[in-house]
Structure 1
Amino acid sequence: MTIDVMLPAYGNVDLLRRAISSVVEQRSTDWRLVVVDDASPGTDLTDLVTSFGDERIEYVRNPANLGINGNFRRCAELVHAPVAVIMGADDEMLPNHLTLVADAMTAHPDAAVVEVGVTVIDEDGRETRPLADRVKGWIAPSVDARTVLGGEPLAASLLRGNWTYFPSLAWNTTWLRRIGFRPGLEVALDLVLLLDIVAAGGSMVLDPTPAFRYRRHRASYSSVSAADGARFDEEAAVYRGAADAFTALGWPTAARAARRHLLSRAHAAMRVPAAIRAGDRSGSLRLSRFALGR
């Protein structure tokens, strides 16, 4: 099974080199890697890509910056293979990742998405376990072997707290193209795509075998947007929409989880003291309102 690895790139060349190397070092050889450069300022990644000397690696540079959402949609457009991974430019695959994905998709060809076991690393590549990732571990479904999830139980689980790691997910291209990333979202676009797929009848294969290294660092967009409250404005709209959609679908448990979104509100509450210390009155008020469910 050929798998397309789409690598939206912008910024740190050293981390991008590590990400590409992790794909080249896969045990599976049946893959295509496309580096999609979102018009990085003053940087052309052609030399980096060609330095690997691998014809399976392609380089595409957007003529203008599309932003996070736009570049993800561009990546989806460029997929040729039946399965695709939209990987983070600072993350790393373990050597078994694509083999694990291919096995899961072969065994469950109608599945929409595959999630694997994820290890979190810091800026320097050291394994770490910050609170956010400990919480993800607590709320994720506890499985000992490959398991298929779907329907209202999966939707409710994701709405209680998104325990997946977007860059590690492998997408059935048919489902990815059918549903697509919803325009206008920058932080919750992965959660919304998953929820839209589940609502449309798609299933997830969850394999707990460690196969991916997700980099958690302070410079990530999600960290910055959490600090200024922007992510919570977006999440509030997402949860309101999900509550309405799942109510209409007749999934009361999922709708209730969307209305409560307790973990997301707890995350906002944890950010309030830092906003107060920074003298950000507007940000602290936004965070407080979200934490209180207003």
Structure 2
Amino acid sequence: MTVDVLFPFYGDVALMKQAVHSVLRQSYRDFKMTVIDDGYPDSSIRGWFDSLGDDRISYERNDDNLGANGNFRKVLARATNELVVVMGSDDVMLPNYLQWLVDRADEYPGASIFQPGVVVIDEHGNSVNGLVDAVKSIYRPRGSGVRVLTGERLAVSLLRGDWLYFPSLGWRAETITNIGFREGYEVVLDLALALDVAMRGGSLLVDSQLAFMYRRHMSSYSSVRAVSGLRFDEERRFFENISAEMADKGWIHAARVARLHLSSRLHAASLLPATVRHGNRDGARHLLRHLVK
């Protein structure tokens, strides 16, 4: 079974190369990697991919910058196989990742999304466990081994606190391509997609087996938007919309959790002192609005 590794890129070139090499080091060799460069200003990138000499990898550069949502939607249209990974361009697959995904997909044919065990690293590759990841561990389903969540239970679990690591997720292609990424979201597009899967009857498999390294650093897109406060403007709009959708579906508990979005408010509160201390008035204003609305 060939796995589509979709690789939307814009960012640190050195970290991108580490991510690509981690795919090439997979013990499971049957994959197709599709790289779409969203116009990153480095003319050497195409030549580097050509130098790899691996016909499993294709590289394409956008003439115009599409932004995160646009580029994710474009790369998703390139999926042609049964299993899909939309990998972050600065993350690292452990050598067992693709084998893990293929095995779990075979063992659990009813599962739509696959979440392996993840270790979080910083820009230097050191293991870290900051506040965000400590909170994720609180909301992650209890237990070890394989667990499968579906329906409103899955939606409530993710709305209480998004404990997924999106770049590490494996997907049934028919699930992710039929639903796709919602337009208008740059930061919460991953949570929106997972909730759309839940609302359409799909299931999420979570496994404690370690298979992926997720990179968290302050220059990442989501981190920059968090400090500016713009992330939370988007989150608040999303939670208002998804709460209404959950209510229409009759998922009253999920709708209430979305309306409250407590973990999102707490995240904003945790950033407020540093934002004020650095004199970022616009950022502080966005964060305060998120806390009270």
TM-score class, shorter: over 0.9
Residue 55 of structure 1 aligns with which residue? 55
- How many Å apart are 1:241 and its aligned residue? 1.0
Give distance in 2, aligned partners of 1:252 and 1:84. Answer: 32
Between stretches 68-77 and 55-64, larger displacement belongs to: 55-64
Matched, 1:243 2:262: no
- Mapping 1:249-260, distance limit 5 Å: 249-260=249-260
Amino acid at match of 1:187: V
- Mapping 1:23-102, distance limit 5 Å: 23-102=23-102
Residue 217 of structure 1 aligns with which residue? 217
- CA gap of 1:198–1:31, structure 2 versus 1, over 3 A, is same
For structure 2, list consecutive stretches of 5 or more residues without a partner in the other structure.
Answer: none
Q: Secondary structure at the match of 1:51?
A: helix
* TM-score, structure 2 normalization: 0.97
Give distance in 2, aligned partners of 1:42 and 1:203. Answer: 40
Give distance in 2, aligned partners of 1:12 and 1:231. Answer: 21
- How many Å apart are 1:111 and its aligned residue? 2.1
Amino acid at match of 2:18: R
Considering only aligned residues, what root-mean-square deviation do their CA atoms show, in Å? 1.2
- How many Å apart are 1:39 and its aligned residue? 1.4
**Deviation sequence 1:242-268 (CA, Å, 0-9, x none):** 111111111111111101111110011
Give distance in 1, aligned partners of 2:192 and 2:5. Answer: 21
- Give percent identity, aligned residues only: 46
Q: Secondary structure at the match of 1:259?
A: helix
Give distance in 2, aligned partners of 1:245 and 1:275. Answer: 33
Runs (4+) of structure 1 exceeding 3 A deviation are none
* TM-score, structure 1 normalization: 0.97
- How many Å apart are 1:194 and its aligned residue? 0.6
Give distance in 2, aligned partners of 1:46 and 1:282. Answer: 38
Residue 177 of structure 1 aligns with which residue? 177
Between stretches 143-152 and 118-127, larger displacement belongs to: 143-152
Give distance in 2, aligned partners of 1:131 and 1:270. Answer: 9
Q: Secondary structure at the match of 1:273?
A: helix
Q: Secondary structure at the match of 1:213?
A: strand
Give distance in 2, aligned partners of 1:266 and 1:11. Answer: 28
Give distance in 1, aligned partners of 2:279 and 2:65. Answer: 32
Between stretches 4-13 and 25-34, larger displacement belongs to: 4-13
For structure 1, list consecutive stretches of 5 or more residues without a partner in the other structure.
Answer: none
Matched, 1:128 2:128: yes
Q: Secondary structure at the match of 1:164?
A: coil
Whether contact under 8 Å (2:228, 2:282) holds in the other structure is: no
Residue 261 of structure 2 aligns with which residue? 261
The count of aligned residue pairs is 293
Give distance in 2, aligned partners of 1:78 and 1:23. Answer: 18
